[in-house]
Structure 1
Amino acid sequence: MARGTYKCAKETKKRLLETVIELIKEKGYANVSVRDICRTAEVSSGSFYHHYPSKEALVLDAYYHIDQYVTKEFIEKCEKQPPRDSIRSLLGLYLKLIDEEIGLLVKEYYRVMLAGMNISALDPHRPYYQALCAQAERGITDGSFRRECEAKEIAEYFMRFLRSEIFDWAIHGGDYNLVAQFLKDYELALWGIVASKER
């Protein structure tokens, strides 16, 4: 693919992602059609279906927007923190995106997930998951986390924790501060993996 064509396709996807988030916040998921998305984003329906087979697929991609924030600079910042703090930074990044950009669209993400439409949610090759594993490995190596744990186990533990935080916030209609509640709950969640000397 030529560089110009790739750039154009990337910009089109970005416009679609931003549009679906804003429209669903404004009108609700059930009241937004592919036609609405295309009209607002000024994208043809042909172009839409070139990138996404359905509205549901676009919703899933909007949720994975998080991976673009796991930059080299962000990882370098994490590497300078103790492992327990770097994992908190990674989880906080995810929740900040939900709170500030995705909002209650997250309800539709879970609905689509439960319908079995997406098998890549737990993809171990995703940049976010890889970053979480790397910080977990650091914690095991430096003795912050229990040595009988594997990095993959710790990463999955925190992904389950993250999903529970988001799900609870969503079923409460987003009526409390997601990030503030996470910061309180995180300290309790740490007790499952920290080495005894770190407690």
Structure 2
Amino acid sequence: MEHNGTKQTPNPEPGDLIEIFQPGYQHWAIYIGNGNVVHVTPNGVGLASSSASSGSVFSGTPTVKKEKLNIVVGVDRYRINNKYDHHYEPLPAKVIVERALSRVGQDFSYRILSNNCEHFVTLLRYGKPVFQQADRGVEAMSAALVPMGVVAAVLSLGLLFSRQRQKQKVQQIWKESLQVVASRDSFS
């Protein structure tokens, strides 16, 4: 089965993590069966283009919703991605679905780095929140900050050396001035 040019598993199993590729990030949902998923979405919004997991999209309090997978995905690509199964033992599918359904309608305290849609679905599947997007974000920020730190260090050293040269010039001028005064005094 193809969905927007990407092969999809036609029948996700209850408890599967669904990764939805939205522009600039991935949104996550948990499949609960019968074509439905549970996911975090802005309050009162259910379309995929608005079901974003970026912090800036949430204008109200995010809410946990049960919706049809095809509605949540909209025009975006998606895949089943139980990527942490090799690190963590998934809970039984029945438990995952029960836990997901028990959260429907609840407000969700969204924080992009510590409590987001990926944390939510991995907590349901593994009993532990896991989030790789934050790690990638921290790596990207670090990669950007390291060169900035190097530039700042070079500029600081340049400024330091420049100040030292200025100080040396002032000292040299002062020394020469004293020599001129001393030579005048010796002629008097």
TM band (smaller chain): under 0.3
Higher percent of residues as helix:
1
The structure number with the bigger radius of gyration is 2
**What TM-score, normalized by structure 1, do the two folds share?**
0.24
**What TM-score, normalized by structure 2, do the two folds share?**
0.25
